[in-house]
Amino acid sequence: MRPRLKLGLGLAVALAAAAIGALGVRYWNAAAVARADGKMTTAVAQQGEFLVTVTVRGSLAPRRSVELNSPDVTGLQITWLAPRGTVVQAHSPVARFDSSTSRQQLDAKTAALRQAQAALDEAEANARIAQQQDALDLATDENAVQSAQLDAAKAEVLSVIDGAESQLTLGTARETLKVEQATILAHQTSNGAKIASAQRLAAKAQADLDLVQQQLREMVLTTPVTGVVNYFTNYSQGFTNAQPFKVGDSVWPNGTIAEIPDLSTLELLAKVSEVDRGRVALGDTVRAHMDALPELTITGKIDAMSDLAEADFGSTFPPPMIFRLHVGLQHIDPRLRPDMNGSVDIVTRRLANTISVPTAAIFTVAGKPVVYIAGPGGRFTAAPITVLARNPDNAAVQGVAAGAHVALQPPGGQ
């Protein structure tokens, strides 16, 4: 190759390298300092305590629920129900049943008790009369014996015939006294049996009346706890027509018709993956927001965790292995309800006096994390940072001053 041609090729290569270098410098300058095209969305770097969290989904559930059963009475029919899903206070009525049959039974049992009590009173009165008559007869016979003994004592001064007659009269009086004593014992036994029988009949009538009165009281079901009314499904008309219990439905004796979750025992249930299980521990603080009440922050602590992993049969296959968490709530807001779902943040670490920015403000340039800091004239400067910890929505960083405005998208469309 001629020397002149070699010199031309070398000059061309040098010019091309210089052009590529200039383009690279221009690209870096555009990345490091850029002017925004249009209005940029920015966020302010915050300084303070940064909470490193594990975010999962969770739901509310009561630790205690009370089931309400119908009374042990046949032919029950519902006449009133508290509205489903409403909060009922402790000792308030939840359901009422038709009590017309029980009231008729109450009248009949009341009359039966009165009759039994009258029979008992009569038996006791007859026993008292018999006792008084027996006492009088006994006293008469005893006096006769004493009189006969006195006459018999005069036998020495009387004739033989009169003395024998006196002894005969004494013997007859003594036999009559023995008969009277036996009669009194028989009267006592008979009257005692009659009174005991009348007492048993009266006690049975009283028990029957008490049972009907108890059934009448049970015609109104009350809840022992404050909670939300949840009615069970009534399958008496078949599975195709099954629906929650309603007014007019017939109920079988001792049938469970409703459940009242105790709102004072609400807890938060959550599931963590095998990867996150090692990051959480008993006693960790939890902050949750229910989807139905996003403005409400629920706080609590983990007070129980499952020891073994279990398969979570959900929408994915194969099912992932998870661990279950139980979170005790520090304060139960009256608006909370069982089965509410929401986002749960488990605080695993706390970084004091740390700068945090949204994760959307962190970009990668040349393989390193940077943020774009707003400057005068709408210009943004790329600042390299160190990420200390990262959450789904924010991150703790070094290299940014508190109060700096950082861009949430690359300046100039980069």
Give tens-digit pLDDT for 52-63.
999 999 999 999
Determine how β-strand 243-244 pairs with β-strand 227-228.
Answer: unpaired
Same domain membership, residue 135 and residue 283: no
Q: Are 253 and 139 within one domain?
A: no
pLDDT of residue 13: 42
Q: Is residue 231 within a helix (H) or strand (E), and if so which, with residue range?
A: strand 230-231
- Kindly state whether residues 38 and 181 are assigned to the same domain: no
Do residues 227 and 350 both lie within one domain? no
For the stretch 219-256, pLDDT in tens is 999 999 999 999 999 988 888 888 999 999 999 999 99
Tell me 85's DSSP state.
Answer: T
Residues 211 and 227 in one domain: no
Specify if 158 maps to a domain: yes
The angle at the Cα of 331, spanning 329 to 334, to the nearest 5 degrees, equals 110
Distance, CA of 286 to CA of 393 (rounded, Å): 17
Q: Which domain holds residue 253?
A: 67-96+220-261
Domain final residue pick, 196, 218, 240: 218
- How many domains does the chain divide into? 3
Whether residue 273 is contained in a domain is answered as yes
3-state secondary structure of 54: strand
Does residue 270 lie in a domain region? yes
Flag whether 166 is in a domain: yes
Is residue 190 in some structural domain?
Answer: yes
Whether this prediction's pTM lies above 0.85 is answered by no
Of the residues 234, 261, 288, the one at which a domain ends? 261
Residues 313 and 164 in one domain: no
90 and 237 within one domain = yes
Residue appearing with tokens 């029957």: 208
- Same-domain check for residues 92 and 104: no
Query: Is residue 338 domain-resident?
Result: yes
The verdict on 239 and 380 lying in the same domain is no
Question: Minimal CA–CA distance to 198: which of 123, 129, 304, 268?
Answer: 123
* pLDDT exceeds cutoff 90 at 389: yes
> Per-residue pLDDT tens for 327-383?
999 999 999 999 999 999 999 999 999 999 999 999 999 999 999 999 888 889 999
What is the rounded average pLDDT for all residues in the chain? 85
> How many of the other CB atoms lie within 10 Å of CB of 247?
11
Give the pair of three-digit tokens for residue 255: 């049938």
Q: Are residues 271 and 399 in the same domain?
A: yes
Q: Evaluate whether residue 6 is within a structural domain.
A: no
Same domain, 131 and 210: yes
- The CATH code of the domain that includes 304 is 2.40.30.170
Residue 121 maps to a domain? yes
**Per-residue pLDDT tens for 168-185?**
777 887 888 888 888 888
Q: Are residues 257 and 269 in the same domain?
A: no
Q: Is 235 helix (H, G, I), strand (E, B) or coil?
A: coil
Identify the domain boundary among 218, 251, 283: 218
| Residue 396 DSSP SS3 | strand
The number of residues in the chain equals 414
When pLDDT is averaged across residues 43-47 and rounded to a whole number, the result is 95
